[in-house]
């Protein structure tokens, strides 16, 4: 049986398993952390399926260790007893006069019901939770949303419904398009959902009970209180991996799970990571498309879980919410529209203020792919340029000459490739790399890979159709609503979106572009770090190896890349001038050179 318990501990009034009734009679459960002193305070809320009572240290030990060792400021000033994956630490917020609320979404953790991630029902539940928090006696009527990943993605969804008490949102590394970002890259199914869902969602489904973890603060099962036979839980949850295979195109299933970004009018701080194969695109797309008159973009690097918890990230969040939830003079009224941490090859970041995205003084530069000599250059290719490669092999890599001076590439990018295949389809995996003077890859800490690439783009050739009204030169838009098979041997044009990136490349280094028909992997035998059993070789766990989606007889042929005067395959890259850009000392993070 649920017990709503209220107690004072560690300088906070903590209420466990607070009931929040839904319109259909289902009761969701929330933990509420608030100041001891009576009063009305602004609210910071999350709502999702990861179990509000599961300790970060227990449920995500592999992430907690580097967070607490590499970034000591992330855990300083707190007992860390209430740390929970991808949500704020109440011990860092409640003393500043905030109420922190964590809600277990329907069918997860301590909340009963049918578990259906990112569904319309879940979004409407979130709306109800926001409105419930806005009218409580300890609330000042202003609710802010702040969290990472799942707790960022569903912010976009609920904000589009415009709950009256929603005052501001900060989606920190959160996808906005369920098809193009969460499940498919360029129309190619990625295996993330099939790997992630059983471990992070299914393991804490409501009813797992005694078979699962316990809340270290209450002793209660994090996915209880009742314990339901495992076979009975199957009927109480959706089957996302099966649904993805059943829906290969961007149809109603995905549209219902994607935010209507243009409907969002609340103030937004969209915080993006340069290198996350699930989240990067969404934060940029959403920033550009929301209708909010007050919106800001912040971009950082490092691990997915790092900057949200560091002093840098928490300071930014508190300035934003202090302004909009408290009306405090935090200096946010002077915050630039865009704040970037440009990446350097030594692992440092250059903190900069910008006025728009893409950067207004971008020099859009076309670099052609030259089959003869594998050069990447501004000059046009010669006639007769063709190059064959095995689709499931290592592909081909094109490189620039060493740069004579330091250059910066910051922004979205695109490629126009002319290809044919010996089969009825082909997948294109396009990877941007930086090579040092010795020809060795420079790697970058990415969201979920300690040695990631600079940028990537993907496209299934049969999904090559573009929507000209929604496309931009640097961001082609593919409707992904039908397949247009290839005629073997016939050359077609592919416009490939490359997700936004940033890198400052020193003189003597080169830029490389690898084109292949499978996931890029850095050379070498490892050993490679792994997440949930998936070895990370440059792209983390966001791989495209589902055999149902990529049968070898359709995607294992020979691909021909054509680049000549009539059909010049090329990259469109966002070079920006360096002369006026270094505005602060480089930020270096612990554990980096």
Does residue 231 sit in helix, strand or coil? Answer: helix
What is the DSSP track for 285-340?
HHHHH---SSEEEEEE-S-TTTTTTSHHHHHHHHHHHIIIII----SGGG--SEEE
**Structure token pair of residue 151:** 């707790």
**Structure token pair of residue 591:** 């554990």
**Structure token pair of residue 52:** 């509000």
Tell me the pLDDT tens digit for each residue of 137-146: 999 999 999 9
Phi first, then psi, for residue 183 (nearest 5°) are: -115, -35
Task: Name which of 205-219, 250-264, 270-284, 530-544 the model is least confident about.
Answer: 530-544
Instruction: Enumerate domains of the chain plus CATH numbers.
Output: 5-335 (3.40.50.1820), 363-520+528-576 (2.60.120.260)
The residues near 357 (Cβ < 8 Å, ≥ 6 apart) are 284, 287, 288, 297, 337, 338, 411
Q: Which residues pair with 172 in a beta bridge?
A: 148, 271
> Is 539 a residue whose pLDDT tops 90?
no
Q: Is the dihedral of CA 193, 194, 200, 204 positive or negative?
A: positive
The pLDDT value recorded for residue 532 is 83
Contact criterion met (CB below 8 Å) for 77 and 15: no
Q: Which residue has the higher pLDDT, 510 or 3?
A: 510
Q: Express as a percent the part of the chain with pLDDT over 70.
A: 97
Contact criterion met (CB below 8 Å) for 226 and 209: yes
In whole numbers, what is the pLDDT of the chain averaged over residues? 96
> Is 454 a residue whose pLDDT tops 80?
yes
Cβ neighbours around 115 below 10 Å, total:
24
The pLDDT value recorded for residue 526 is 77
> Is 583 a residue whose pLDDT tops 80?
no
- Residues 301 and 419: their CA atoms lie apart, in Å, by 34
Tell me the pLDDT tens digit for each residue of 142-181: 999 999 999 999 999 999 999 999 999 999 999 999 999 9
Mean pLDDT for 210-237 is: 97
Give the confidence band of 592 by pLDDT, cuts at 50, 70, 90: very low
Tell me the pLDDT tens digit for each residue of 458-473: 999 999 999 999 999 9
- Residues 203 and 50: their CA atoms lie apart, in Å, by 9
Contact criterion met (CB below 8 Å) for 261 and 176: yes
Cα dist from 361 to 69, 104, 367, 411, 586, whole Å: 39, 45, 18, 11, 22
Check: pTM over 0.85? Answer yes or no. Answer: yes
Give the confidence band of 587 by pLDDT, cuts at 50, 70, 90: low
Tell me the pLDDT tens digit for each residue of 65-107: 999 999 999 999 999 999 999 999 999 999 999 999 999 999 9
User: Taking each helix axis from N to C terminus, what angle separates 280-289 and 150-159, rounded to the nearest 10 degrees?
Assistant: 20
- Residues 442 and 453: their CA atoms lie apart, in Å, by 8
Contact criterion met (CB below 8 Å) for 32 and 44: no
The pLDDT value recorded for residue 593 is 31
Q: Which residue has the higher pLDDT, 387 or 533?
A: 387
Does residue 426 sit in helix, strand or coil? Answer: coil
Mean pLDDT for 559-584 is: 89
Q: Nearest 5°: CA angle at 30, between 80 and 317?
A: 55
């Amino acid at each position: 049986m649920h017990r709503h318990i209220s107690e004072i501990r560690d300088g906070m009034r903590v209420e466990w398993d607070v009931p929040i009734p839904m319109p259909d009679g289902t009761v969701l459960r929330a933990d509420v952390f608030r100041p001891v002193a009576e009063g009305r305070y602004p609210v910071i809320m999350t709502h999702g399926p990861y179990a509000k009572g599961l300790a970060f240290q227990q449920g995500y030990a592999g992430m907690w260790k580097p967070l607490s060792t590499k970034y000591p400021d992330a855990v300083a000033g707190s007992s860390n007893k209430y740390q929970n994956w991808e949500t704020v630490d109440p011990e860092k917020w409640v003393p500043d006069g905030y109420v922190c609320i964590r809600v277990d979404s329907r069918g997860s953790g301590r909340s009963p019901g049918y578990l259906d991630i990112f569904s319309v029902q879940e979004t409407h539940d979130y709306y109800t939770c926001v409105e419930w928090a806005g009218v409580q006696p300890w609330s000042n009527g202003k609710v802010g949303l702040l969290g990472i990943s799942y707790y960022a993605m569903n912010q976009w969804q609920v904000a589009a419904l415009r709950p009256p008490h929603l005052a501001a949102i900060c989606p920190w590394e959160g996808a906005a398009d369920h098809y193009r970002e969460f499940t498919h890259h360029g129309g190619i199914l990625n295996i993330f959902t099939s790997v992630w869902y059983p471990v992070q969602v299914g393991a804490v489904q409501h009813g797992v009970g005694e078979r699962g973890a316990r809340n270290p603060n209450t002793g209660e099962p994090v996915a209880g209180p009742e314990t339901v036979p495992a076979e009975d839980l199957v009927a109480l949850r959706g089957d996302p991996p099966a649904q993805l295979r059943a829906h290969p195109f961007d149809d109603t299933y995905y549209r219902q799970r994607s935010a209507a970004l243009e409907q969002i009018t609340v103030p937004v701080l969209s915080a993006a990571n340069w290198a996350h194969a699930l989240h990067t695109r969404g934060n940029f797309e959403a920033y550009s498309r929301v209708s909010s008159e007050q919106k800001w973009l912040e971009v950082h690097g490092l691990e997915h879980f790092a900057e949200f918890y560091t002093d840098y990230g928490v300071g930014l969040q508190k300035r934003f919410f202090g302004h909009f939830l408290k009306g405090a003079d935090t200096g946010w009224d002077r915050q630039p529209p865009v704040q970037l941490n440009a990446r350097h090859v030594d692992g440092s970041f250059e903190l900069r203020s910008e006025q728009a995205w893409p950067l207004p003084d971008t020099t859009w530069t076309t670099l052609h792919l030259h089959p003869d000599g594998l050069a990447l250059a501004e000059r046009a290719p010669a006639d007769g340029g063709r190059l064959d490669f095995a689709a499931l092999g290592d592909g081909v890599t094109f490189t620039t000459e060493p740069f004579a001076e330091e250059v910066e590439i910051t922004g979205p990018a695109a490629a126009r490739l002319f290809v044919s295949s010996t089969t009825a389809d082909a997948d294109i995996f396009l990877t941007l790399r930086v090579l040092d003077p010795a020809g060795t890859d420079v790697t970058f800490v990415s969201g979920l890979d300690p040695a990631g690439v600079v940028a990537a783009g993907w496209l299934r050739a049969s999904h090559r159709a573009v929507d000209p009204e929604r496309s931009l030169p640097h961001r082609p838009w593919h409707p992904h609503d039908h397949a247009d098979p290839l005629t073997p041997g016939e050359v077609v044009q592919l416009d490939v979106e490359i997700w936004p990136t940033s890198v400052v490349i020193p003189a003597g280094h080169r830029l490389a572009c690898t084109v292949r028909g499978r996931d890029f992997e850095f050379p070498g035998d490892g050993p490679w770090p792994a997440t949930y059993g998936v070895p990370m070789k440059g792209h983390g766990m966001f791989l495209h190896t589902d055999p149902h989606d990529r049968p070898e007889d359709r995607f294992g042929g020979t691909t021909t890349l054509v680049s000549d005067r009539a059909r010049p395959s090329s990259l469109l890259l966002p070079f920006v001038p360096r002369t006026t850009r270094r505005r602060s000392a480089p930020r270096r993070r612990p554990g980096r050179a």
